[in-house]
Amino acid sequence: DADVTQTPRNRITKTGKRIMLECSQTKGHDRMYWYRQDPGLGLRLIYYSFDVKDINKGEISDGYSVSRQAQAKFSLSLESAIPNQTALYFCATSDRPLSSGRAVGSYNEQFFGPGTRLTVL
Amino acid sequence: QKEVEQNSGPLSVPEGAIASLNCTYSDRGSQSFFWYRQYSGKSPELIMSIYSNGDKEDGRFTAQLNKASQYVSLLIRDSQPSDSATYLCAVTLRSNDYKLSFGAGTTVTVRA
């Protein structure tokens, strides 16, 4: 089974609808992230969470909200979807820095889910 | 100046040749450096991590880090058509709370 899963994998919706994208992981990582990817713009961070009680905005959080329901689950919501939110969305996870026996900096290694292709009409 | 910059592609190489990808970063306090491979429509896959100056080899891939010059590179030896993908450079920036910052990517096409 995949370590990081995302649902749904594809979604077509209409302007103004509320959408929730879900991410689950079995890697035991504390840190989770939501990115969007648009052609030519690379990966941009929407929100990130370093543990269940720590949620932070990324560079493009406007129009989005998140919920960290448990260590293993991190959901992204679009309260009122608009066409320019059409993109590929990725969830990612990484370990925390205090794990013993790991190379310096290796906790920054991020592992991505398969992605959700969202189209807003 | 962008935090992480990659040489613009696309890069086309013949099968069996060496593909060379470069990445520069702006923050001298950066600690961790990664290369991700992304096939079209798929998620990024971590292929190399490097944390100290010098070379790191893993199969046909070699990552090179030079912190003084603030660049990291990826060499793909004996390129195969299956290496055709977009390669993303990612750096943890001290100025960015050590979150990953990604370059825009370089698309590599290996010609059979």
pLDDT digits (tens, 9 = 90+) for A23-53: 999 999 989 999 999 987 789 999 999 889 9
Q: Is B42 in contact with A109 (Cβ distance < 8 A)?
A: no
Average pLDDT of A50-62? 93
Question: B84 vs B30, which has greater pLDDT?
Answer: B84
Q: Is B43 in contact with A105 (Cβ distance < 8 A)?
A: no
Of A3, A43, A61, which to mutate for an interface test with B (greatest number of B Cβ within 10 Å)? Answer: A43
Q: What pLDDT is attached to residue B99?
A: 82
* CB atoms inside a 10 Å sphere around CB A63: 14
Q: Is B106 on the interface with A (CB under 8 A)?
A: no
Q: Is B51 on the interface with A (CB under 8 A)?
A: yes
Q: Is A109 in contact with B49 (Cβ distance < 8 A)?
A: yes
Task: Tell me which residue of A77, A89, A84 sits closest to A118, measured CA to CA.
Answer: A89
- Tens of pLDDT, residue by residue over B9-39, are 899 999 999 999 999 999 888 888 999 999 9
Of B23, B67, B89, B99, which to mutate for an interface test with A (greatest number of A Cβ within 10 Å)? Answer: B99
Q: What pLDDT is attached to residue B65?
A: 97
Q: What pLDDT is attached to residue A101?
A: 52
CA A90-A94-A95 angle, to 5 degrees, is 165
A68-72, B8-12, B96-100 — most confident range: A68-72
User: What single string gives the DSSP state of each residue in A48-106?
Assistant: EEEETTEEEE-TT-TT-EEEEEETTEEEEEESS--GGG-EEEEEEEE--TT-TT--TTG
Q: How far apart are CA A60 and CA B28, in angstroms?
A: 25
